[in-house]
Structure 1
Amino acid sequence: MTKPASALADVFDQGIPVLAVLGARRAGLLAALLERAATAEEFATDLKLDPLATRLTLNVLVHSGAAVHADGRYQASPELAERARNAPGGVDLHLNLFDHLPELLVSGEPLLSMDGTLEERGRHYAQVAQGLGHMYPDAAAELAEALERGPYGLGRGARSVLDLGAGSGVWSLAVATRMPGAQVTAVDLPPVLEGLRHNAAEAGVEARVSTLEGSYFDVDLPDAAHDLVILGNILHLETAGDAERLVHRAAAAVKPGGTLAVIDILGSGPYETNPVRAQYALFLAARTSSGAMYSRAEVTDWLAEAGLTGTRTVELPSAPPHFTCLTAARPL
């Protein structure tokens, strides 16, 4: 009987494909594959690489799904090309973060400050927000449908939606598309909102979307003014104290009978016990100084302390496995 592969065996077995991708990126081969199709010899000549090592690396890239090989020529696979176009920050951001791990181990300093000053946040999220939007359209549509049909008191009569830290607008624009009467106010930093306005126009809902530039901690928000308030994928950027403060701020903007929806990387226990969340925690440390993941229990407590009740989990089948959506309502 064959012994099942262990997690450690998987790491060593998959190490060569990962190293091939990282090595190809550092040597300029990955960028060249994204630009054109060529033979291994042509790539080696153009990039001043060893011909044999180039061919061997390209073959590993083919078998790992990063490249395709036909008629003696190699080029980026459709999946790699799609990731380069639409992944948050493109392919380079993820690979840069992987490369930064040795420095992170020594200094503890992240490569990026995605939770830094407003200027830093605006600059970094302008680069990744659109990519994040490409990751979640199906999950956002599922959330909008659940909010319309589920026990949340919204339905097609929802009139006012507030999206704090809106990013690409993927969550609130899905609600606006699903609920024709919904008026959306999207709050984010100026460089980020440029992309959101474009997305609203693409979705045909720009007439029902207004933007409010600034930090979600500082902009003026009227109390009890919105049927739905969304905190989409932002709590993990904040310290526990600031995340709790943001939940309270969002809850204060919910009308009686309205709903607060929190979408984030939430778990039922310590992240150390879950391999996906443990990996995400390391990835988060490479791009934030103080970011953290919180449990469902913590967020549920914050919602209750903010005066909301009836906390529920909304199932989003298309969301990544580490994503959770919690909703809670302000009593009438």
Structure 2
Amino acid sequence: MTKNKELETYFSLMLASGSTALYNFVQENELFKGYKVGVSFSAKDFADKHQYKMIPAEVLLNSLVSLGLLEKKNDQYELASVMELLSGNYKNLSAEYWAHLPTLLKTGTPFKRMDAVADSEKEYQVQVKSLEWMMTPCAELMVEMLAKTRADIKTKKDLEVLDVGAGSGVWGFNFLYQNKDAKATLADWPAVLVVAKATAERKGIKDRVTTIEGNFHESVWPEDKFHYATLGNVTHILTAEANKTLFKKIYKAMKPGGELVILDAYGEVPEGELARALYQMGLTIRTIQGRVFQPNELKPWLEEAGFKTFEFHSLNVVPRSMGMLVAKK
């Protein structure tokens, strides 16, 4: 390891440690309880409310601006919109998962069993709204990249999209946003699809959305219907055999020449290396046997199902960990 690399590693760890310490201090002490996004306040207001000394209070606020938790204009501060998300399920940044790591290492017992059929609906129901927000940049870029070489995405009058393990519908809906005549069919658990239905209503696309509710391994789908299918963040919670079976089922549902887009944390953007590693660690903590299958592992299974040609693209947007494998029938 070179001296520069050593320094980069040291400062990266220092920044991560300091950022985490500041964030935890904010949440543990409920510093912004009662504050609203869009309502400004001064450093003096903040210091007086908490009975803090003015100079360290102002330095703290400026540090939180640098972290992206606050915004500052002139001498006024206000909460960044991300603080709304951080007041919900993701407030503690999944700290309880990481606290389970010693137990996992000693016993092999995961903190959750999100890949177990009996648990998956309940677990993903809690997470689906946040995942919609997190994956939107990737979903937008996915359709944008595909549309560069596939004119039908924006112009085809009867375009049909199947979104398997749809969750919030973020993958399938982005086809509909680009084509006013396209229709999407979402397959997932009923409780999970509640968010997708609400989004479809809010976006004015509910008349173009159909749902197939239940275990998508067992539910019945139409055959030879879909021009595109999406499988976003699903293959990593399935076994190899379950993936093979699912690929065959999707293949039957697609029109000749249709394309399946598989999205997962296997992008190749260098800036996403740490995100990919931590994602796999988190996956190990919260599943029985979940792991990110790489494109070279998925391709033989897709070929076995009947898919013929493939292309791969990294998605160079936040979180910079994602990639998409496109398989053509």
TM-score where L is the length of structure 1: 0.79
- Residues 220 and 81 (structure 1 numbering): CA distance in 2 closer, same or farther, change over 3 Å? same
- Distance in 1 separating the partners of 2:205 and 2:192: 18
Q: CA RMSD in A?
A: 3.6
Distance in 1 (CA, whole Å) between partners of 2:75 and 2:48 is 10
Please list the CA deviations of residues 51-94 of structure 1 after superposition, one character each: whole Å capped at 9, or x if unmatched. Answer: 9xx97995665664445799999x87415414426x8x332352
Q: Could you tell me which residue of structure 1 aligns to residue 173 of structure 2?
A: 173
Cα distance in structure 2, aligned partners of 1:58 and 1:215: 48
Residues 115 and 289 of structure 2 are in contact (CA less than 8 Å); yes or no, is this contact kept in structure 1? Answer: yes
78, 84, 104: which is aligned to 2:80? 78
**Counterparts of 1:64 and 1:246, CA distance in 2:** 41
Counterpart position of 2:116:
116
**Any conservation in 1 of the 2:176–2:183 contact (CA below 8 Å)?**
yes
Where 1:150 maps in the other structure, the secondary structure is coil
1:42 CA drift (Å): 5.0
Q: Map residues 4-15 of structure 1 onto 2, 5 A cutoff.
A: 4=5, 5-15=7-17
Shift of 1:169: 0.6
Q: Answer yes or no: is 1:21 the counterpart of 2:23.
A: yes
1:139 aligns with 2:146: no
The question of 1:278 aligning with 2:280 is answered: no
Displacement after TM superposition at 1:308 (Å): 0.8
Answer whether contact 2:267 2:324 (CA < 8 A) is retained.
no
Mapping 1:193-232, distance limit 5 Å: 193-232=193-232
Q: Which consecutive residues of structure 2, in runs of 5 or more, have no partner in the other structure? A: none
Instruction: Rate the CA distance shift 1:44–1:127 in 2: closer, same or farther, 3 A.
Output: farther
Question: How many residue pairs align between the two structures?
Answer: 314
Quickly say closer, same or farther: Cα 1:175–1:250, change in 2 above 3 A: same
Distance 1:189 1:326 in 2: 24
1:97-108 equivalences in 2 (<5 Å): 97-108=97-108
Map of 2:249 onto structure 1: 249
Following superposition, the deviation at residue 158 of structure 1 comes to 4.4
- Structure-1 separation of matches of 2:71 and 2:319: 27
For residue 136 of structure 1, give the secondary structure of its aligned residue in structure 2.
helix
Q: Which secondary structure does the structure 2 equivalent of 1:114 belong to?
A: coil
Quick one: structure 1 residues 22 and 241, their matched pair in 2 at CA, closer, same or farther if it must change by over 3 Å? farther
Tell me the distance in 1 between the aligned counterparts of 2:50 and 2:191. 37
Find the aligned partners of 2:78 and 2:287 in 1 and give their Cα distance.
31
The answer (yes or no) to whether the contact 1:122–1:192 under 8 Å persists in 2 is yes
Post-superposition CA distance 1:311-332 (Å, at most 9, x none)? 11245443532211111211xx
Percent identity of paired positions between Structure 1 and Structure 2: 25
Return the alpha-carbon distance in structure 2 between the equivalents of residues 80 and 308 of structure 1: 41
Equivalence for 1:48: none
What stretches of structure 1 of length at least 5 have no aligned partner? Answer: 46-50
**Counterparts of 1:68 and 1:43 in 2: how far apart (Å)?**
19
CA contact (8 A) 1:114 1:287 kept: yes
Tell me the TM-score normalized by structure 2: 0.79
